[in-house]
Every structure is written in structure tokens, then in C-alpha cells.
Structure 1
Amino acid sequence: MFNSLTGTVTGKLPQKIFIDTHGIEWDITVPDSSSAAFAQVGQPCRVFTWLQHTDALMNLFGFASDSDRSLFFDLLKVDGIGPKGAIKIMGSICASDLARILESGDLEALQKVPGVGKKTAAKMLLQLKGKLTLSEIDSSSAAKSDSPYADLVSALSEMGYERKSAEKTVSEIVSRMTKDGSFEGKTDAQKEEILFRTAIVELAR
């Protein structure tokens, strides 16, 4: 039903972010660990979402990237872990670190994650080891990128845009503007400003 929301951040609280989309303010539950990945109050932000809808309640959960949301869905597959439990676990450790622990089968490290007991850790490994839907741990690989525009991609990601989409968009814009001569005579700072403005427009489509 909802894939994502793009709007202006109107407030940030522990496990909460508020997004205004043309006069409608959304109350979204998010992992504490991803709070810094969202834009600051007053800035535009994209949040990947999942709606929990039952006879008794409706809760909207949000994530800084599609990969984070995929890990959330994987956690929900574990017996005994509900949406709030998954958010608590992800709020105690960044998604990429949690994914690495699960893939390595490190039970001891997993038990040290707040919100994960011995039984839950064993269930998580049994259910998820080698079965995560994450295709890659994008946050660390992007940090190691040799691209001269890695900082620009990181800035777009921190605004709420999915990192892989930002990387692809920036790469396509660079290729296009290099071919059509848009970068000729421009300083590096001017190129980055043009890229940043153009990327925001194209990512928001």
C-alpha cells in the first residue's frame, strides 16, 4: 500500500519521526539507530514505510533505506519477534552490523544486542543465517567507495534517499553532463552543487 513517504521533517523523538506531506503529518515509528540517517527538522526527507493494520490498531513504521526495511521484514519471520520487537533490536545496533552478525552465525555477539536474549538469538540464527534478503551491506561498501562523489551520495542518503538509487542517479547525471559539456569550465565545487540540485530533482520523481 505504502512504499515510501517524501515530505518535510517536522519533529524527531526517540523511535519517532514526524513527516508533513502537503498538510498531512505522519507519525512514524523508526529504529533509534537510524535517527541520524534522516534529515533534520525542516528539511525534506524520504522514509521507506510499512503499515501494520489489525482490527485493534494501525502503526506506520519507517526506515532510512530499503535495505533496512528488508532486514525488518526478515526479523518478523522469527517466531516471537513482532514489529515493535524488531524496531527495538534494530534500534540497538545498525542494520549492517546486525546483518553481518546474523550471516556469520556469531551467537555470542548476537546475545549482546539489547533486546535479544539467548532463546531469541538462537531462533534468529536458525531462521535467518544464510537466508537474509539483503543483497548487500550497502552502508559500509558505500563508505569505502573510491568515487569522487561519495560524500555527495552520503549526503543524499542522509536526507532519506535510498543509497543505491542515489549512487545510480549521481552516476547517470555525471555521465550525461560530461557528454553534453555541462561540466566544462566548472570547478569541483560548482560540479558538486549542480549534481546535488539535479540529483534531488530526479530522485524526487
Structure 2
Amino acid sequence: MIGRIRGTLVEKLPPEVLIDVSGVGYEIQMPMTSLYQLPELGAEVVVYTHFVVREDAQLLFGFADRQERALFRELIKANGVGPKMALTIMSGMTAGQFAQVVNQGDVSSLVKLPGVGKKTAERLLVEMKDRLKTVFGNVEAMAVTPLDIGELAVPTAIGSARDEALSALLALGYKPPQAEKMLKTVFTEAASAEELIRDALKSVA
């Protein structure tokens, strides 16, 4: 099991990053809420990871801290939730915001996310209420002051910001017409890819 990666941030192609560790490059998929917190390219980073082995692929998922990784691990235990859906959920809201959604039984916030239907959302709320208590302790206390995505530090992106943002939204499960519409609503020439992604995700929250 690969539990933590420490190395140089070489590339950011949301929702994937490339981290160089002594000459070996690790491709790591991250929820946007974690990716927003990464430093500039060339800086040293520490990422907590979860390794998934499938018949057709070996995937490494990364997180800014142990709490986000713990949430991811509990999400993929839920019925009908795989790593991709868990990544999408965690890209649309922080751990604190998700705890608040669960605590309030807020189905509507979950069904706005791609791939999450009403039945899946309802089942997820029931299953995750107990799981969150196991991982985070007092869910109610955790949900009082959820971190606003808009408060996260957003690093500078490279390349075509709009194209990178569109690719990230598609990778997170949004359909092309929906992703295009989301970006059209928030697009500005001066925005970085991460800012466009952040604002696009907030536009459907």
C-alpha cells in the first residue's frame, strides 16, 4: 500500500498531478478541493494517497490531508460509489461541507453532482451518517464551520486555462454540454484553470 508521496510537483492537469520522487513520476488523481491547495510547479509536496488495484488499471488517488483520505475511503465503501464518483463528490464540496450535507439530509446538493441520482443520494446520506461519525467523531461539530472552496488558495495554472478546466470537468463526470455551460457562466480571460474549475463547481452548488 502506498500511503504517502513526498516529492516535487512536476505537472498539474486537473484532476491529475505528476509528482517526481527520486526520478520516478507518480500520476495521482486528486479531488479539486485538495488540488487547489497545492503549491506552484517545482515545489516540494506531501500528498496522502490511496492505491486502487483493478483488473484493467492501477490507480493512485491523492489528498491534502488524512481527513480527506479517510472520507474518500469511507465513500468508496458505500453501496454504488466507486473511486470516480467519490472523487467527483469531494471535488464538489470539502469534507466539512459534505458532513453538513449528510447532517442535514440534503439530497438536493448531492443530486447536482454528475452520476449521483436521487436514490443514490438518499442511500449515501443514510450510509454515510454512521460512517462519518466513525471517521470524524462529532459530525454536527464538524459541520458547523465548513471550509468555503472560495477561501482556498488557488495556484497559477499553465497552458490554456479554459481547455484544462473543461478537461477536468469532463474527467469528473460532467457531460460536454453541461461542462461548456458551466464554464461559459464563469469564464474570464484572466482566470487560471483552477479558478475556472472552482467557480464552475460552485455555480452548480
TM band (smaller chain): 0.5 to 0.7
Distance of 1:76 and 1:61 partners within structure 2: 12
- Displacement, 1:88? 1.4
- Displacement, 1:141? 7.9
Change (3 A) 1:142 1:122: closer
* Pairing 1:40-59 to 2, within 5 Å after superposition: 40-59=40-59
Q: Is the 8 A contact 2:88 2:113 kept in 1?
A: no
Instruction: Show CA shifts across 1:134-191 (max 9, x none).
Output: 24649x5899xxxxxxxxxx99xx9xxxxxxxxxxxxxxxxxxxxxxxxxxxxxxxxx
- Displacement, 1:69? 0.7
Q: Secondary structure of the residue that 1:119 maps to in structure 2?
A: helix
Q: Secondary structure of the residue that 1:79 maps to in structure 2?
A: coil
Question: Which segments of structure 1 move beyond 6 Å, counting only runs of 4 or more?
Answer: none
Distance of 1:135 and 1:42 partners within structure 2: 37
Residue number in structure 1 paired with 2:175: none
Q: Is the 8 A contact 1:2 1:50 kept in 2?
A: yes
Change (3 A) 1:47 1:56: same
Say if 2:14 is the partner of 1:14. yes
Q: Is the 8 A contact 1:38 1:45 kept in 2?
A: yes
- Displacement, 1:26? 0.5
Structure 1's unaligned 5+ residue stretches are: 144-153, 159-205
Q: Give percent identity, aligned residues only.
A: 34
Counterpart amino acid of 1:88? T
Residue number in structure 2 paired with 1:84: 84
How big is the alpha-carbon RMSD for the aligned residues of Structure 1 and Structure 2? 2.7
Change (3 A) 1:116 1:142: closer
Change (3 A) 1:10 1:96: same
Distance of 1:29 and 1:141 partners within structure 2: 23
Indicate the structure (1 or 2) with the bigger Cα radius of gyration.
Answer: 1
Distance of 1:98 and 1:141 partners within structure 2: 8
Distance of 1:126 and 1:14 partners within structure 2: 31
Say if 2:124 is the partner of 1:124. yes
TM-score by length of 2: 0.63
Q: What is the aligned length?
A: 146
* Equivalent residue for 2:136, pick from 134, 138, 155: 134
Counterpart amino acid of 2:15? Q
Structure 2's unaligned 5+ residue stretches are: 156-205
Counterpart amino acid of 2:102? L
- Displacement, 1:109? 2.9
- Displacement, 1:79? 1.2
